[in-house]
Amino acid sequence: MVVLAFGVLAFMQLQGQLARSNLDARIRTLASTIAEEQIETQKRFTRLASDEEGGTFAYQDVQSATTTVTRGGIEFSVEQTVTDFYWDEATGQFTQSAPPGILFSDFKQLDVMVSWVSSEFLQGGSSLGSVGTLGSGDIGMSTVISSRVTGTNHLALLDELAIQGLCVPLVSCPAAID
């Protein structure tokens, strides 16, 4: 009987550890999804400069920020750090300071850090119904966002051409791209 009791006790402890590991994996997946969504949102700019009403998300609007997001009852802190890089033709190198006469950086490095702190949870689906704590953690992702034209933000090139006086904004520019 004693051997059987120890076996059942060990099995119950294993069951609890598996439930905690499963929830930890779920939270890490949520954090990764939030980081990916943040990156994709920042890549969806359609102009280099904001329009007068500020209704269009533009390249210059991609800036460092900190926000919170709640998913699955867990609060995540999302820290977005943006570093601008400019091509300096005089030195032939990238620099973090704008050369004279340059309005927009050539690209931005976007670093996203999603973190969570000691959330209490109820082990869903467990017949034990015990309450435990899940440790802190963070997930980081980085990408580069270019000010140049891509398939998703083709209007950025039109905006840049207009700034340089090479075409009228969003009127005669599409022919210039072909």
Name the pTM for this structure.
0.69
Contact 85, 94 (CB under 8 A): yes
Query: For residue 69, what pLDDT band results from cuts at 50, 70 and 90?
Result: very high
Q: Where do the structural domains in the chain lie, given as residue ranges?
A: 2-44+66-144
What pLDDT does 168 receive?
43
92: amino acid identity, one letter: G
Non-local (6+) Cβ contacts of 83 within 8 A are 96, 108, 109, 111
Contact 42, 58 (CB under 8 A): no
User: Residue 93 pLDDT > 90, yes or no?
Assistant: no
Query: For residue 113, what pLDDT band results from cuts at 50, 70 and 90?
Result: very high
**What residues does 93 pair with on adjacent strands?**
88
Query: For residue 107, what pLDDT band results from cuts at 50, 70 and 90?
Result: confident
What pLDDT does 132 receive?
42
Neighbouring CB atoms inside 10 A of 34's CB total 20
What pLDDT does 82 receive?
96
And the tokens for 35? Answer: 């980081």
User: Residue 79 pLDDT > 90, yes or no?
Assistant: yes
User: Residue 102 pLDDT > 60, yes or no?
Assistant: yes
What pLDDT does 22 receive?
84
* 125-174 pLDDT tens trace: 333 333 344 567 889 999 888 887 555 555 454 555 555 554 444 433 34
DSSP SS3 for 1 = coil
Q: How is residue 9 annotated by DSSP? A: H
